[in-house]
Structure 1
């Protein structure tokens, strides 16, 4: 996915999450383990969100076990850096065209 397409998908995802009652805390957070696309909060839970988009395939299949492992390490680094001890989860947000699908707790 090109950076331009990715940025568009992430912007659409952020707007959609706000409509769902989320507060967007950060975007494109980098650690030595990788990047977290969106960090949002809703009802006291931190949501670390991986955004995937596509129209000719199922984008969710690009979230592999290796990718999840990297994301979890990035999340732990973020929590440690900011000394956070609150509930959190790793989610996926799939963008197809202008439609969004939020898949919560993808590690379960």
Structure 2
């Protein structure tokens, strides 16, 4: 997927989160040698670390959330929490964007 398509998907995801009363804390947090966290948001005192995936089909997008990707994301989250000295509840979520359809998958695990 091109960077432009990824940026558009992330913008749609942020609009969705804002409409659901989330507060966007940060976008595209890069953890050196670990990876990137697409969106960091809070709601009800819980941090949500969100992976955004976009494709021409739901199946294609969801299949891009691999065990390896989740493992890197988890390490990036741990780094972020330590760096920012945050001691709060958190979860890892995904937002799937297919055209104008958005699906929010909360608290994904592997």
TM-score, L = length of structure 1: 0.96
Distance 1:41 1:100 in 2: 19
Distance 2:2 2:17 in 1: 22
Distance 1:57 1:15, change over 3 A: closer
**Structure 1 residue ranges without an equivalent (≥5):** none
Q: Secondary structure at the match of 1:105?
A: coil
TM-score, with structure 2 as normaliser? 0.95
Unaligned runs of 5+ in 2: none
Q: Equivalences for 1:81-100 in 2 at 5 Å? A: 81-100=83-102
After superposing on structure 2, the runs of 4+ consecutive aligned residues of structure 1 that deviate more than 4 Å are none
User: For this pair of structures, how many residues does the alignment match?
Assistant: 108
1:13-28 map, 5 Å: 13-28=13-28
